């Protein structure tokens, strides 16, 4: 037996009950979100470093890209849904899949050459050393 989502025929808005309108709204919102994966990210700071941790369960490190451009650190990739088992029917899939990109503007006091990344057990950890020389420029008004 396959489960299918029931969509009531679309009638005029006035003839619908409020609960039906809300059900349609939330069902459509969940369906639209299905192809969008947004990993959870924690950013912390110690005296010497900035630390970024991203939860990327079920991904391989080859599926993750980290780039730095104009002091903007970007983490991107794609988490694919693998439905390879024959004879298996999914009745509910609540995990998120799809491509993602998260970007963060780095502060002026970082050593961009010191960025290191490790990936283990679905957790991406990035460390960035702080620079002793904060890059600031005084602009004289003429």
Give domain status of residue 13, yes or no. Answer: no
Instruction: Give the residue ranges of the chain where pLDDT is below 50.
Output: 33
The pLDDT, as a whole number, for residue 58 is 85
Distances (CA, A) of 120 to 53, 54, 79: 11, 11, 16
Give me the CATH number covering residue 120: 2.60.40.790
Q: What is the spatial distance between Cα 78 and Cα 63, in angstroms, rounded to a whole number?
A: 6
**Structure tokens given for 105:** 């503007």
In the chain, the number of structural domains is: 1
Contact 128, 111 (CB under 8 A): yes
Q: Please tell me the predicted confidence (pLDDT) of residue 135.
A: 53
> In the chain, which ranges are E strands?
41-45, 49-55, 64-69, 72-79, 98-105, 116-120, 123-129
Residue 119 lies in a domain: yes
**Other CB atoms closer than 10 Å to residue 142's CB: what's the count?**
3
Q: Where are the alpha helices (DSSP H) in the chain?
A: 18-33
For residue 15, tell me if it sits in a domain: no
- Residue 120: its pLDDT value, please? 94
- pLDDT of res. 102: 92
Taking a C-beta distance cutoff of 8 angstroms, is the pair 130, 50 a contact?
yes
Within-domain flag for 30: no
- Predicted local distance difference test score (pLDDT) of residue 64: 94
Q: What is the pLDDT of residue 124?
A: 96
Does 126 map to a domain?
A: yes
| Torsions phi, psi for 98 (to 5 deg) | 130, -175
Is residue 19 a part of any domain in this protein? Answer: no
Q: Domain range holding 124?
A: 39-79+98-134
Q: Give a yes or no: residue 4 inside a domain.
A: no
pLDDT at 38: 86
Helix, coil or strand: residue 112: helix
Per-residue model confidence (pLDDT) at position 37: 79
Q: What is the DSSP letter of 5?
A: -
Is 113 within the bounds of a domain? Answer: yes
Query: Could you say which DSSP state residue 88 is in?
Result: -
The two tokens of residue 131 are 């620079």
pLDDT at position 54: 95
């Amino acid at each position: 037996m396959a489960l299918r989502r029931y969509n009531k025929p679309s009638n005029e808005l006035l003839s619908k009950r409020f609960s039906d309108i809300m059900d349609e709204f939330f069902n459509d919102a969940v369906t639209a979100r299905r192809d969008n994966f947004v990993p959870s990210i924690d950013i912390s700071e110690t005296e010497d470093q900035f630390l970024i941790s991203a939860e990327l369960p079920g991904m391989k490190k080859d599926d993750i890209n980290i780039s730095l451009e104009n002091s903007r650190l970007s983490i991107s990739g794609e988490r694919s849904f693998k439905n390879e088992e024959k004879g298996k029917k999914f009745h509910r899939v609540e995990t998120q899949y799809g491509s993602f990109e998260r970007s963060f503007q780095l502060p002026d006091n970082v050593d961009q050459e010191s960025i290191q990344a490790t990936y283990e057990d679905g957790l991406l950890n990035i460390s960035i050393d702080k620079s002793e020389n904060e890059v600031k420029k005084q602009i004289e008004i003429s």
